Amino acid sequence: MHMGEILQTVGALMVLGGFALSQFRILSQHSYLYLLLNVIGSGILAVLAALQLQWGFLLLEGGWSLVAFWGIITRISGRTSFSSH
């Protein structure tokens, strides 16, 4: 297995792991751990997509990483990033 494939697997496992843990109600989608798993995992995948000129995948993973990063900034600042509808 090449380094790129290892990094892809690690990134995907981070994103999917966070999602699975939230679906089983083990981890809140607003927790720092969930958000960090998404920022780092999707960030890894976004960098790899950019290096391989995979624009659609870069858009998906880069956007995912930015949204999760915004969630962290919002939590740190004490604001609420989600509606109460």
SS3 at position 29: coil
Residue 81 has pLDDT above 60, yes or no: no
pLDDT given for residue 85 in this prediction: 41
Tokens of 34: 């969930």
Q: How far is it, in rounded angstroms, from Cα 10 to Cα 56?
A: 20
Decide if 44 is inside a domain: yes
The amino acid at 50: A
What is the domain extent for residue 39? 3-77
Q: How far is it, in rounded angstroms, from Cα 10 to Cα 84?
A: 33
Decide if 83 is inside a domain: no
The amino acid at 79: R
Mean pLDDT, the chain, integer: 93
Domain count along the chain: 1
Decide if 52 is inside a domain: yes
Decide if 14 is inside a domain: yes
- How much is the pTM? 0.87
pLDDT given for residue 69 in this prediction: 97
Decide if 56 is inside a domain: yes
Decide if 19 is inside a domain: yes
78: pLDDT confidence band, cut at 50, 70 and 90? confident
* Each residue's pLDDT tens digit, 28-43: 999 999 999 999 999 9
Q: How far is it, in rounded angstroms, from Cα 73 to Cα 22?
A: 20
